[in-house]
Amino acid sequence: MENGDWGHRMTNPVTLNVGGHVYTTSLSTLQRYPDSMLGAMFRGDFPTTRDAQGNYFIDRDGTLFRYVLNFLRTSELTLPVDFTETDLLRKEADFYQIEPLIHCLNDTKPLYPLDIFEQVVELSSTRKLSKYSNPVAVIITQLTITTKVHALLEGICKNFTKWNKHMMDTRDFQVSFTFGPCDYHQEVSLRVHLMDYIMKQGFTIRNTRVHHMSERANENTVEHHWTFCRPARKVED
């Protein structure tokens, strides 16, 4: 791509494959810090590599990249309270040469007061698609909510009885719903209502990601994942 084309696409979506995790953002976000590696890469100064789907490919830790990308979007570092991979994230920040992020990671000031912790809800949608049908056919879709906030799981079981016939086992801090080929569109409706319900309980979306997998010769699996967080005060035993 010629350098002059980058300006034309500053606000167009850009899709990256970072270590197998697919992210979508804008060129302006990736160029937030012009002196960084990403700034130079998407300015056209460095050669780029594409995967088979045409995504820009970066051979780094795909899971940790969500924190890098969120920092590029907001210029703020937000990590879970129980985050234990600071050293690895520092190496990623050093690789991408994002100096403000490196500075934040070297600052040992706690994110929250000592009597505050963070509650987390994970919502995932896993959809298996047939490779050979046209249009693409959905084989099965599973929607899973994972959290240690028991009141939230109880509220979901109580308030979403419309989908009871799709509900699976609720062990291990999870509630799952499974939809077959004939009713997979209901998963979208349930997901929209669940996200609204979770956010009304005081949670906000921390990050989102998409992961494409190919498990069998005749089907593809696409997983969408959302992480919600809210601060909560510790209760003395």
Task: Report if residue 111 sits inside a domain.
Answer: no
Pair (87, 159) in one structural domain: no
Number of helices (H), then strands (E), in the chain: 8, 8
Question: What's the pTM?
Answer: 0.52
Pair (91, 158) in one structural domain: no
Pair (195, 220) in one structural domain: yes
CATH code of the domain covering residue 56:
3.30.710.10
- Provide the domain limits for residue 41: 13-106
Last residue of a domain, one of 106, 132, 167: 106
Pair (125, 193) in one structural domain: yes
Per-residue pLDDT 10s for the chain (237 aa) are 444 444 444 457 899 999 999 999 988 899 888 889 998 888 888 888 999 999 999 999 999 999 999 999 888 888 887 788 989 999 999 999 999 999 888 875 655 555 677 888 999 988 887 766 555 566 788 889 999 898 998 899 888 888 888 876 666 788 888 887 766 778 888 889 999 999 999 998 877 787 766 655 566 788 888 889 888 877 654
Pair (141, 54) in one structural domain: no
Side by side, which strands form the sheet with 138-147? 56-58, 13-18, 21-26, 204-216, 219-233, 116-130, 138-147, 174-179
- Residue 22 phi/psi, 5-degree rounding, is -100, 130
Pair (78, 136) in one structural domain: no
Q: Find where tokens 């934040």 sit.
A: 104
Q: How many domains does the chain have?
A: 2
Query: What is the structure's pLDDT at 103?
Result: 87
Question: Cβ distance 184 to 127 under 8 Å?
Answer: yes
Query: In which element (H, E) is residue 158 found?
Result: helix 150-159
* Reduced DSSP (H G I as helix, E B as strand, rest coil) percent helix, strand, coil of the chain, to 5: 30, 30, 35
Query: What is the structure's pLDDT at 6?
Result: 42
Query: What is the structure's pLDDT at 3?
Result: 46
